[in-house]
A and B are shown apart, each in its own frame.
Chain A
């Protein structure tokens, strides 16, 4: 470690300096998380007047719950779909912008705009465009002979939420990819070009491998986003339907706990989610910090 070390004379001072952050973490993260863990062992009526300690019953029930298993599967499909679509699209856009010589900034600015749209608003936007009664896209698809109805067709619903969720994330990915592309040394691509490699070959053999730290970082970020930040999109488009086909884990916690008022099982689900976050964080720290090998 070559970093400079600061030595505090007082033992108290460092703790005092850290205190605001620690207090916030304790009050807004650790305390509610602790409550969730405690609640996941209870069976409680909605008003919180009676509770029974039931050990792991809420957890064992999750394992036997077909709906929960379904939500798990849906979450996997959804996160992979969102990650692949948003990263693929943004990489394409980034490569295009990187090749544009004029007005690069102009395009960059435009492409970043969607990031400023609130998730609920973007969900509503897509819901409106795809609405089977009033939407413009089903109207067009009808001419192609496809009867679009995300209210009833699980695949339509999944496609809708994936597009809506991915669209929002494209801007974010795009920025990182542009930055990543700009740090690829020109000399390498030039040398390859002189050796006779075409643009596609240059991209896949030189640029793409050099981008891999960015790609890996974004993959983790996108999976986390798809799993945990897409609640408003699901809520404003499909509400988890039809027949549970877009009911991702986060939405199920909400639906069971807040709408269904079934607090114990809902708390158990959120504890499971917490464990998944922990796992993702470990992955991120272990591998990203070490840099990807290529």
Chain B
């Protein structure tokens, strides 16, 4: 931690010394690798487009590390103007009223054009307060999709052009893949116990994750994901785990999932649509793309999936008020259709505005790149309801950690799906009680 802080301090010192005429706007982000380069590119282009403001992107590590660093910096009075916070941190940020400069307010104060209806509804729906105001700037939103290895499907005697539509089909196909020796395991996934394996599972099957519209209705919401269907699904995962159909990818983002897919150990991989670029770069086989499977034992009419990824939050307390003007200008720049479309097409994140999606259609991007519009179609299918709008809880990252441990206990045969989810809900609700107490006095 000390190291991280000192790096942060060094970064601040560095950015402070390069004093130029342009007002500097610091932007802490969590995009490494290819995504990070693209992000720096976006900032560079903005800086070249005008001379008054200079966006200074600083890479701060993973999402949790970035959030932690921003909070530590805020406590020390050294906060950046803009920080990229993952969707899991939304509840925490929304509760931090004095620390956050809501983006709708920022745009109004800076006199920048701001029309929330231009954004994709499922994205903004996630980041608005109960009064309908958008609190953070949508930037990189994704949703889980299914990637599969067409070569392995062929080898196993399956039709490589037909992806599993339901979990039951996925189970059947996995068995065939394993028994034919085409691959060692059928499928693996990232966020097996959280974003993919529970939050999105609940949304797609239209099952509640918590009370009060999954937490959108207020801080007194509590978790109710321990329903019989979710429990049955986890029990089924355990069965698939035992017969080799499913390989656990590890806690949190699942560090073992992607390598298992790239090395052709597992034929199917479920993760964010933003993994697209990495999947294409790392797989030496034909990749197929498909929507997330649904559970036909629970529903015949799958709902929309929910988003992940991050938004940009503006933090209060900058001494130079000009900085906020720069941030607002940058946000206007970011919402331009061509900038958005470029970012979306390069990274696999969703197009944030309707205009960017239309631009992509006009350019013929989706026709040229099959599978690239699966995420947006999946997230916009049907009408979102209380169960599929998203989940918003304080300290959700801690709740997710607890759930990782619960799924591990199920897979190790120590608990049934029901026991694990009951215990997870109990732990999670204790965390929520704390969060509510800390934020409500």
Q: Is B336 an interface residue (CB 8 A)?
A: no
Residue of A nearest to B92 (CB): A46
Q: Is A45 an interface residue (CB 8 A)?
A: yes
What is the minimal beta-carbon distance from A230 to any residue of chain B, in angstroms?
Answer: 15
What is the minimal beta-carbon distance from B283 to any residue of chain A, in angstroms?
Answer: 16
Using a Cβ–Cβ cut-off of 8 Å, how many residues does chain A contribute to the interface with B?
32
Task: Report yes or no: A152 in contact with B408, Cβ–Cβ below 8 A.
Answer: yes
Chain A contacts for B441, CB-based, 8 A: 50, 52
**Interface segment out of the listed B121-129, B202-210, B291-299, B394-402:** B394-402
CA separation between A129 and B196, bound complex, in Å?
A: 29
Residue of A44, A48, A243, A262 near B398 (CB, 8 A) is A262
Contacting A at CB under 8 A, from B358-416, are 395, 397-398, 401, 404-406, 408-409, 411-412, 414
**Interface segment out of the listed A85-93, A131-139, A186-194:** A131-139
What is the minimal beta-carbon distance from B219 to any residue of chain A, in angstroms?
Answer: 11
Task: Report yes or no: B438 in contact with A44, Cβ–Cβ below 8 A.
Answer: yes
Residue of A132, A152, A260 near B401 (CB, 8 A) is A260
Q: Is B228 an interface residue (CB 8 A)?
A: no
CA separation between A242 and B406, bound complex, in Å?
A: 9
What is the minimal beta-carbon distance from B90 to any residue of chain A, in angstroms?
Answer: 13
CA separation between A131 and B265, bound complex, in Å?
A: 14
Q: Is A78 an interface residue (CB 8 A)?
A: no
Task: Report yes or no: B263 in contact with A46, Cβ–Cβ below 8 A.
Answer: no
**Interface segment out of the listed B20-28, B33-41, B93-101, B229-237:** B93-101
**Interface segment out of the listed B67-75, B106-114, B150-158, B321-329:** B67-75
CA separation between A259 and B252, bound complex, in Å?
A: 12
Residue of B nearest to A54 (CB): B437
Task: Report yes or no: A43 in contact with B405, Cβ–Cβ below 8 A.
Answer: no
Give a binary string over A254-271; 1 marks a CB under 8 Å from any B CB, 0 the rest: 111011111011000000
Give a binary string over A107-140; 1 marks a CB under 8 Å from any B CB, 0 the rest: 0000000000000000000000001111000000
Residue of B75, B250, B395 near A47 (CB, 8 A) is B75
Q: Is B434 an interface residue (CB 8 A)?
A: yes
Chain A contacts for B96, CB-based, 8 A: 45-47, 49
Contacting B at CB under 8 A, from A141-185, are 151-154
Q: Is B215 an interface residue (CB 8 A)?
A: no
Q: Is B1 an interface residue (CB 8 A)?
A: yes
Using a Cβ–Cβ cut-off of 8 Å, how many residues does chain B contribute to the interface with A?
39
CA separation between A36 and B439, bound complex, in Å?
A: 20
Chain A contacts for B71, CB-based, 8 A: 46-47, 261
Residue of B92, B248, B259 near A261 (CB, 8 A) is B92
CA separation between A254 and B2, bound complex, in Å?
A: 12
What is the minimal beta-carbon distance from A256 to any residue of chain B, in angstroms?
Answer: 8
Q: Is A284 an interface residue (CB 8 A)?
A: no
Give a binary string over A231-268; 1 marks a CB under 8 Å from any B CB, 0 the rest: 00000000101111000000000111011111011000
What is the minimal beta-carbon distance from B249 to any residue of chain A, in angstroms?
Answer: 9
Q: Interface of chain A, helix or strand or loop or mixed?
A: loop
Chain B contacts for A241, CB-based, 8 A: 251, 404-405, 408
CA separation between A241 and B403, bound complex, in Å?
A: 12
Chain B contacts for A50, CB-based, 8 A: 438-439, 441
Residue among A49, A134, A153, A264 having the largest count of chain B Cβ atoms under 10 Å: A49
Task: Report yes or no: A242 in contact with B251, Cβ–Cβ below 8 A.
Answer: yes
What is the minimal beta-carbon distance from A141 to any residue of chain B, in angstroms?
Answer: 16
Q: Is B64 an interface residue (CB 8 A)?
A: yes
Give a binary string over B426-441; 1 marks a CB under 8 Å from any A CB, 0 the rest: 0000010010011101
Chain B contacts for A48, CB-based, 8 A: 74-75
Q: Is B338 an interface residue (CB 8 A)?
A: no
A152-B248 in contact given A259-B64, A261-B68 (Cβ < 8 Å): yes
A260-B395 in contact given A49-B99, A244-B405 (Cβ < 8 Å): yes
What is the minimal beta-carbon distance from A281 to any residue of chain B, in angstroms?
Answer: 22
Chain A contacts for B397, CB-based, 8 A: 259-260
Chain A contacts for B64, CB-based, 8 A: 259
CA separation between A13 and B255, bound complex, in Å?
A: 58
Q: Is B183 an interface residue (CB 8 A)?
A: no
CA separation between A52 and B438, bound complex, in Å?
A: 8
What is the minimal beta-carbon distance from B68 to any residue of chain A, in angstroms?
Answer: 5
Contacting A at CB under 8 A, from B230-280, are 248, 250-252, 256, 259-260, 263, 265
Task: Report yes or no: A255 in contact with B259, Cβ–Cβ below 8 A.
Answer: no
Residue of B260, B398, B406 near A259 (CB, 8 A) is B398
Chain A contacts for B74, CB-based, 8 A: 47-48
CA separation between A151 and B241, bound complex, in Å?
A: 13
What is the minimal beta-carbon distance from A246 to any residue of chain B, in angstroms?
Answer: 11
Chain A contacts for B414, CB-based, 8 A: 243
Task: Report yes or no: A262 in contact with B434, Cβ–Cβ below 8 A.
Answer: yes
Contacting B at CB under 8 A, from A45-72, are 45-50, 52
| B interface residues, Cβ below 8 angstroms from A | 1, 64, 68, 71, 74-75, 92, 95-99, 248, 250-252, 256, 259-260, 263, 265, 395, 397-398, 401, 404-406, 408-409, 411-412, 414, 431, 434, 437-439, 441
| A interface residues, Cβ below 8 angstroms from B | 43-50, 52, 131-134, 151-154, 239, 241-244, 254-256, 258-262, 264-265
Q: 12 more A-B contacts (CB under 8 A) besides A50-B441, A151-B248, A262-B395?
A: A47-B96, A48-B74, A52-B438, A133-B256, A133-B265, A152-B411, A241-B405, A242-B251, A242-B408, A242-B409, A261-B398, A262-B431
Sampled A-B contacts (17; CB under 8 Å): A45-B95, A47-B74, A49-B98, A50-B441, A131-B256, A132-B256, A151-B256, A151-B408, A152-B412, A153-B412, A241-B251, A242-B251, A242-B405, A243-B414, A255-B401, A259-B397, A260-B397
